[in-house]
Amino acid sequence: MARIKSSHEVSISRRLPRAKRPSTLCFQKCTYHYDDGEEHQGFRFIWKDPDGKLKPARGQAIIPSKSDLLELLALAENDGWFQNV
């Protein structure tokens, strides 16, 4: 099991299929803290509901389109934390 701490985030608002309100798709730079004391740096995509609460989905986040993926990566690069990765 891991605790995850996000250090940087970019996001876009999107409406998921069958959703009544738009949610926020986030791309985050994270540190993963494991129970055995190890920690690793990495990235994740995760949704937030309209109230800003995380919507974890067993390690998977639906990314609606290639353009959404590329937009998030460009936002992170422009923000300065996804360069030279």
3-state helix, strand, coil in the chain (%, to 5): 15, 45, 40
> Going residue by residue through the chain (85 aa), what tens digit of pLDDT does each one get?
889 999 999 999 998 777 788 899 999 999 999 999 999 999 999 999 889 999 877 768 889 999 999 999 999 999 999 987 7
Q: Judge whether 84 and 76 are in contact, CB under 8 Å.
A: no
Q: What is the rounded CA–CA span in Å between residue 30 and residue 59?
A: 14
84, 81, 71: which is closest to 28 by C-alpha? 81
For the chain, give every domain's residue range: 2-79
pTM recorded for the entire structure: 0.89
Burial of 21 (0-12, 13-18, 19+ CB in 10 A): exposed
